[in-house]
Amino acid sequence: MSGDEERQRPIRIVLDTSAIIEFTRQSIHVGELIAEVDDEQCAIAISVLSLAEALHSVADRDRLDLLVDHATVVLSADAADWRALAATYDIVGRLDTAAAALAAIDHDCAVLTRRPSLYAGLAGGGPVIPIED
């Protein structure tokens, strides 16, 4: 699938930093969701802030490159949303987490995360799909 084709698909799920790291550690839970989203002709999205944060913790950067180049839409921060990003930051306590949450809410989808507690301050615990142990 080309990057252009990926970008034209509706975003079905956002991977936060923890989910990106889990992917590079060959998480079957993350893989199953990526495969299912692809079958639904939809796209996975990641925030550029999550990507930059994940890079610090990822041992296998080739896998990170594969994720970016072949499976995802990379979302940059929208200047018009800076107040919403700041408000989300106040709630979740991390800028990368805030970017993931804001992207999910904006695109009406869920965040895949290993750390659902980060989103606990959002109504109902936020739009999250927890990664199982």
Partner 1 sequence: MLAAVGIHVTEEGKARARAKLAAADAERTPERRAAWRAQLGLPPVTAA
Residue 126: count other Cβ atoms within 10 Å of its Cβ. Answer: 23
- Does 30 help bind partner 1 (rule: CB under 8 A)? yes
Does 126 contact partner 1 by CB under 8 A? Answer: yes
Give the nearest distance from C-beta 56 to partner 1 in angstroms. 20
Nearest approach, Cβ of 14 to partner 1 (angstroms)? 11
Scanning residues 41 to 60, which ones bind partner 1 (CB under 8 A)?
none
Structure-block tokens of residue 28: 């079957």
* Window 101-120: contact mask with partner 1 (x via CB under 8 A): -x--xx-xxx----------
Contact 93, 36 (CB under 8 A): no
The verdict on 68 binding partner 1 (CB under 8 A) reads no
What is the side-by-side strand order in the sheet with 43-47? 72-75, 43-47, 11-15, 110-113, 128-130
Residues forming contacts to partner 1 in the complex (CB under 8 A) are 12-13, 23-24, 26-28, 30-37, 39, 63, 66-67, 70-71, 81, 83-84, 87-88, 91, 102, 105-106, 108-110, 122-124, 126-129
